Amino acid sequence: MPPRPTLVAFVALVTVLVIFFLRLIFVTLPGHSSFYRDTFGPGRSLSVWLENEEDRYALAVQDRQELIKKWGPTDVAVEPYPTHGEFYTIWDFFIPAFQCPHRVQRIGTLGDGGKWVCGLDRVAKQDKCVIYSFGINGESSFESTLLKRAPGCEAWGYDYSVNNWGPEINDDPELKKRAHFKPWALGGTDNHNENDNPKYWTLDSLMNLNAHSFIDILKIDIEGGEFDALTSFLRAHENRDFPVGQLQLEIHARDGREHFESFSRWWASLEAAGLRPFWTEPNLVYINLVRGVRPELAEYSFINIRGNHALVNEAFN
């Protein structure tokens, strides 16, 4: 007996609805550039997304304080890498609880060298953009991929331990035109006189030297020097918008920075500047190469939720 018209119509309607909702889910997965609009419905904006994420991030900060009370009860008493059966490490207090409203993707090689970036498509739409990279170490897949994806970008690289970019840029004449390198170190103070070796520059001094007022993408991997360098940069821009769109940072929580209290204060200074972590991964390559060590290294990516840059500008499209 042929199916009744009402049944056929019902099946057709269900099929259309299933297709619609599947399309909605896959088009607006977190990380898609239009996710914040589609998720919150028509008329909702990027600023609303950021406000909602900031509320959720505040809850994560509260959770951090509760974890400190549990294992402290103050941050002075928290042991970064406990050895008496406690189930945490320092990284469990500082989770990437902020969700980037744009596509998040790994840029550069898999393994050591690649970084997680937020909203590269938006950055790449700009006529001009600025990339700073500290810590090259002969591997430039991250920077070369950024330059290929964003033709309006130029990159400034610094590393006193090598003489130039890695082969990914150095062997590509077209990319090398937009990539500038100096064998200098990033530090918390300026020490770059003629006889200084290596020559240390603060980030603020380098920006002034290069006539830059804003850095779209800032990568720092300088083996522990990030604490003094970023502290100096933050102080130079107190009570002003932090002049960085996003930060890819390897944190080395060891040596003098093992003390949880000092680390916590430093992390809070990043948050006070408007930086919010949206991604992290432990450096397992380091653990594998130096067996038996503590998990002292971790990669973090931060978005700056303030200012008027491509990642937070409501009008940018």
The number of CA neighbours under 13 Å toward the Cβ of 304 is 23
pLDDT value for 205 = 98
- Band (pLDDT 50/70/90 cuts) for residue 4 is low
For the residues 24-31, what does the mean pLDDT come to? 40
Q: What is the pLDDT of residue 9?
A: 56
Of 18-27, 177-186, 279-288, 291-300, the range with the highest mean pLDDT is 177-186
CA distance 89 to 81: 5
Q: Is 282 exposed, middle or buried (0-12, 13-18, 19+ CB in 10 A)?
A: middle
**Which amino acid does the sequence have at 302?**
F
pLDDT: which is higher, 39 or 82? 82
Which of 125 and 14 is assigned the larger pLDDT? 125
- pTM, full prediction: 0.85
Q: Give the pLDDT score at 206.
A: 98
Residue 40 reports pLDDT greater than 70: no
84-110 per-position pLDDT tens digit = 989 999 999 999 999 999 999 999 999
Dist CA 64 CA 132 (whole Å): 31
Q: Residue 14 pLDDT more than 90?
A: no
- Mean of pLDDT values over 179-200: 95
What token pair was written down for 176? 């090398």
Average the pLDDT over 270-294 and give the result: 92
Question: What's the CA gap between 267 and 265, in Å, rounded?
Answer: 5
Sequence-ordered alpha helix ranges (H) in 203-246: 203-209, 226-236
Q: Is the pLDDT of residue 28 over 90?
A: no
Share of the chain above pLDDT 90, in %: 74
Q: What pLDDT sits at residue 27?
A: 41
- Read off the pLDDT of each residue in 256-285 and give the average, rounded to a whole number: 92
Tell me whether the omega of the peptide bond preceding residue 198 falls within 30 degrees of 0, making it cis. yes
pLDDT band of 292, cuts 50, 70, 90: confident
37 against 165, higher pLDDT: 165
CA dihedral 265, 304, 154, 317 (to 10 degrees): 180
Angle subtended at Cα 288 by Cα 285 and Cα 292, rounded to the nearest 5 degrees: 130
pLDDT at 184 over 80: yes
Confidence of residue 277 (pLDDT cuts 50, 70, 90): very high
Strand partners, 303: 246, 276
Beta strands at 200-201 and 215-220: parallel, antiparallel or unpaired:
unpaired
Q: Which of 206, 211, 179 is nearest to 192 (CA)?
A: 206
Q: Give 83-110 as a DSSP string.
A: -SS-S--GGGGS---PPPSS-EEEES-T
The token pair that represents 200 in the structure block: 């240390």
Mean pLDDT, the chain, as a whole number? 88
pLDDT at 300 over 80: yes
Coil/strand/helix, residue 281: strand
In the predicted model, what is the mean pLDDT of residues 157-163?
Answer: 96
* pLDDT confidence of residue 1: 56
Averaged pLDDT for residues 249-270: 90
- What values do phi and psi take at 55, rounded to 5? -65, -45
